[in-house]
Every structure is written in structure tokens, then in C-alpha cells.
A and B are shown apart, each in its own frame.
Chain A
Amino acid sequence: MTAPTLRWAGDDRLSGPPVPPWAVAAAAAVLLAAGLPWLVEPYTLTTLARIMALGLLAVSVAVLTGHAGMPTLGQVAPYAVGAYTTALLAKAGHTTGPVQLLVAAGAAGLFSVLVGIPLVRTRGVVFLMVTLAVGELAAVGADQWRAVTGGTDGLAGIPAVTLTTGGDALTVTGRYWFVLGATAAALALVWWWLRSPMGMVLRGIRDNEARMHASGHHVAGVLLATYVGAGALAGVGGSLLVATQRYVSPADVSFHISALVLLAVIVGGAHSMIGAFVGAALVVTVRDWAAATVPGHGPLLLGAVFIAAVYALPNGLAGAWRPGSGAWRPGSGAHRLRRAAGRLAPWSARRGQDR
């Protein structure tokens, strides 16, 4: 957890491994993913692209929950803003992919500024409940605001994305590469941000807010910046979803998606960006592929994955990866369940204390 953040010649207390092993693994994974179009059929590529879009949403939730200490249920709202913004842009003829991404990120970020200004002053249960309300309102808005969102029918017939203005419409494979590239770039940006001094300040706030106030840090400002950044990231995820499936409806931004993403974050590990992303991949795989072999039992399988994760992986997949915090160490299962349940539902743990 506390790998030294700096490398400074002359004092080994400031040096860590120059390149962390997981960074090598991540780079290899991107290369491998880029080669997949030669190995698998287009349907799989579409599913993978959808996983990446959902993965960005999961990372957005993990950054807020694990790094900033703001457990949220509402990141599906900026995700929806990004998705519908992209759909409307494309339908209006603006099909340039990078432009769509930037505008979607900007719109989701702006939305997060408006929501975040009052929100970063709340904590714990209040924060959680307000984010839940924000997420639900977004879903209802997508459903009811027909003039813009097309209501329950959603927005269909979205023109395929192009890489450059006036360029050719991308094929399934091209769109997959577009989504892969955008996802890798977004994750690299998040990684850089979390390692930056502001990322350190963020961890400081999560660990001890009173200390950060006492040391003169602008806590609300840093939290708002993080909230807006996470919102923009979710917006990019929504934009990529539309780029890959060329269709968006309220089902894509429902509470069901929030729950799925929360599950992904718990399975993957809320303190780890890569963990949350891998968790999203696992959850979607279980839902879409494994469930096809036992039709009608998708939710059951997801439930089993959740219980297994809570028992066996107290810090998610990312915790199992790291030596020292080994998840398979013998220990009390009940204790782990409590901790995991506390992470999942901080309100229930607190309510228990009140009574």
C-alpha cells in the first residue's frame, strides 16, 4: 500500500521499484487486447468494448469510494450524461470520436460540478443517500425527458463514430480499437492523477480529514476536483458505450447498472484502479457469457460471485494479487464478511453502532 512514492538518487528511503510489475502487466494486457480482432469474432469484440465502457464507470466509483473515501451509488448519472450527450452529438452529425469523448467528458464534468458543490460538504450516510438519489434521478430523467432522450425507446440509429472529422465510419473492429485506445488513455490519466501530489492529498483526506484541515489543505476543493474528475471519467465511459453499441436507452443507466458496478468494485477491490476494471470484466463475463450456459440464472451466479468475493477476497482481486495482504491467509471468515459488508454498506455498520 505504502510503496514509497518517489525515487531520488542518493537516499534509498525515497526509492521504490522503478517500474511496478503491474504496470508491465497492464501494458502487456493492452497489447494483447489490441491483437484480439485477429483471434475472436466481432460479437466478442462488441462485448469487450462494452466491458471497457463499464470498466471506466467502475474505476470512477472505485476512485471515489476507495481513494477519496466517498462511497457513491450515483456515478451512473454522469455516465448517463456522457452517453446521451454522445448520442445526441452523433445524431446531429458530429461523429468525430475524440470530439465526442471530450464533449461527453466536459458535459459530465459540468454536471458533476453542479451536483458536487453541495455534495462534497456531506459525509457518510448523507453522501451515500444523496448520490443514490442523483443516480435515480438520472435514470428517471432518461426515462421521462422524451424530447431529448427518446424516453423508454431510447436513442437508436446512431451513426458510427469516425476517428477524424470527415473520415470513414469505423467498423466493429475499428470501434473496438477506438474504445481500447480511449480506455487505456483514460486509465493512464487516472493513474497519473492518483500518483500526483493531489492524489496524495486525496489519500490524506481519506485517512484523516481533521489532520488535513489542520495542515491547511483545502479539503472541499480537492474533493470537488476529484468528484468532477471521476464524473468526467464516467462520462467518457458512457460515451464509449454509445460508440460501441450505437444505441442508448434508460436500461443502460438504470439502478441495475449501479448495482452491477458496485459489485464489480467489491469483487475487484475499491482501493485499486486495475482491480475495479478487472472486477467489471468479471461481472459482465459472468452475466453475459456464463449465464448463457445456465439460462435464467444470471443473477444467481452474480450472487454467488459476490458471496465468494466477500468471503475469500476481503480486499478484492487486487488484495489477493498483492503479497503480504494475501486473501487466502487463514483467518476468520465472519470478520471478513463484516469488513466487506461494511465497505458495501457503510450505513448498516454505522446503524449497528447507533442502536
Chain B
Amino acid sequence: MSALLSASRLHRRFGHLWALAGVDLELAPGARHAVIGPNGAGKTTLLNLIAGTVRPSSGRILLDGDDITATSAARRSRLGIARTFQTPALCASLSALDNLILGAWRHARPTAGQWRPGRYRRLAVRCLRQLDRLGIGHLADHPVHTLSHGQRRLLEIAVALAAHPRLLLLDEPAAGLSDSDLPHLVTCLRRLPAAVTVLLVEHDQALVAAVAEVVTVLHHGQRLASGTPEQVATDPAVAEVYLGTPPAGEGR
């Protein structure tokens, strides 16, 4: 098997609530995979389990064939899993550039001698170019708490990408974005390097349709459906979950 990430029978319980009750997920290298579902379906929990922020109650996660179920979030980041958070997680008092440098710090080659003088400066030059490419280069020395929500969202994706990840986890990148920011985000996501595998948790149908090749629908912590965006859109079970209309012949 050649899956980059393979999660099997993932369970996670919070008190009496099973946030995830046996979910399998396989991501091929370079995949563009979206996870959708109603609120409370377990989407973010799934993402947190893969990122290592939350540990599964049971189940296994393999990255490139290696078991990473018990690996810490920081170590997973160094193994090539980068993520964004539902509300952009950035260092508010630091500048946009410093945030980007801190994102790249543990991943820029050479990683040996990482406290050697001059390294920060070299990274700064590189990160500044990355900000310029994103179109927010003029904000490099602005403290993050002065940036707009849309700018923070872009910056956080840049911070995640600065780690040169193999797998990028995006937790509702469109949440809270204005209509004018959204096209910018879509462009940014479509321009992601083809080698980067993307797992996207999202509500916004337009974004999912524009970015994802495969969609998995979660409901009550279980996989309800999986397929191309078109297949999922026409799946009656999915329609029931989203629209509340039971298919003919079934009671509730």
C-alpha cells in the first residue's frame, strides 16, 4: 500500500460522547481530500487526531507506513504534518514575518546547528519572499494583532507551508472570511504544490468543490459517504443529513 496517511478504526470519546466512532481514512500522496459534515460530526476531532493535538481512544494512524498514533504533535510536525486551526493560531504580538520564520524554524535545512547566528537572518530573507508571493509582503513588519481576519488566515496557511509539509491539514479555512477574501483563499489553495497532500475540513461547498477531488462525509462520528464532489452531492443519505428530508420508505 502506498497511502501517505492511513487511519484505521479511529475512535475518540469525550465523556459520554463519541466524537468519532470508527472512522477509516486513506490519503494517497498528493491527494486533495475534503471532510464535510454537519456541526458536531467529528470533523475537527478527526483533524486533531491526525495532527496529534488529541489522542485517539482507540485506532491507529500510519504516516508513510510508520505508526504515529502515540507521537507528539511537535514530532508529527517535524515528520511533515502541518496544520491550520479553525481560528488562525498565530503569535499575536510578533510580526507577520517573525511568525513565518518561527513556522519555518524547525524545518529549514540544515536543521543541525539551528541556533547558529545568521540562520534567523537567512530565513528572514526567504520568508519575506514567500510573503511577497502571497501578496502580503507589505505587512511583513506589522504585528499580527493588527492584521485582518482574512490576512491572518492567509498568513497561517503560509506558516504551515513554511514547514515544507508532506501533509497539510486545513481546519475550516473559509470560516469567517468575507466574500472578497474567499476568492483569494481559493487561488491560494489551488496553487498549493502538487506534492503536498491536503486534507480539508470545510463547510463552504464552493470551496470544497473548487479544491477537493475526494469528499468524505462524516455524521455522528461515522463515515456516511465518500466519493467525488459530484457523487457526494447527489447521495440521498447526504441530502438527508444536510436537509433533514428522509428518503422515501424510511421512517425516522
Contacts and interface: CB of A to CB of B under 8 A. Distances in A.
Interface of A: 1-2, 4-6, 8, 11, 13-14, 196-198, 200-201, 203-204, 207-208, 210-219
Contacts of A203: 91, 93-94
A13 B85 CA distance: 28
A4 B99 CA distance: 12
A307 to B, nearest CB: 27
Interface stretch (B3-11, B55-63, B103-111, B208-216): B103-111
B106 to A, nearest CB: 4
B147 to A, nearest CB: 12
Contacts of B75: 216
Contact of B121 (A1, A6, A196): A6
Nearest to A211: B89
27 contacts: A1-B93, A2-B95, A2-B143, A4-B95, A5-B120, A6-B121, A11-B125, A13-B128, A13-B140, A197-B119, A198-B115, A200-B94, A200-B98, A200-B102, A201-B102, A207-B92, A210-B85, A211-B91, A212-B74, A213-B74, A214-B85, A214-B89, A215-B102, A215-B106, A215-B163, A216-B163, A217-B102
Contacts of B91: 203-204, 207-208, 211-212
Given A13-B141, A197-B120, A207-B93, A5 B98 contact: yes
A196 B119 CA distance: 11
A6 B124 contact: yes
Nearest 9 Cβ contacts at the A-B interface: A216-B77, A207-B91, A216-B106, A2-B143, A211-B89, A13-B140, A216-B78, A213-B73, A204-B91
A4 B141 contact: yes
Given A8-B125, A203-B93, A207-B94, A215 B77 contact: yes
B97 interface: yes
B115 A197 contact: yes
Contacts of A6: 120-121, 124
Given A214-B77, A215-B163, A201 B85 contact: no
A208 B128 contact: no
B53 interface: yes
Nearest to A220: B74
Contacts of A210: 53, 85, 89
A200 B120 CA distance: 10
Contacts of B141: 2, 4, 13-14
Contacts, number: 112
Nearest to A203: B94
Interface in B104-144: 105-107, 114-115, 119-121, 124-125, 128, 137, 140-143
Interface in B145-182: 159-160, 163
Interface centre among A200, A201, A215 (most CB of B within 10 A): A215
Contacts of B90: 207-208, 211
Interface string B177-208: 00000000000000000000000000000000
A4 B97 CA distance: 9
A207 B94 CA distance: 8
Contacts of A212: 74, 91, 102
| Size class of the contact patch on chain B | 35 or more
A6 B73 CA distance: 30
Contacts of A4: 95, 97, 141
B186 to A, nearest CB: 23
A197 B94 contact: no
A217 B82 contact: no
Contacts of A218: 74
A211 B159 CA distance: 9
A13 B105 CA distance: 20
Nearest to A12: B141
B101 interface: yes
B51 interface: yes
B92 A216 contact: no
Nearest to B79: A216
Contacts of B121: 6, 8
Contacts of B89: 208, 210-211, 214
Contacts of A204: 91, 94, 98-99, 102
Given A14-B128, A196-B115, A214 B93 contact: no
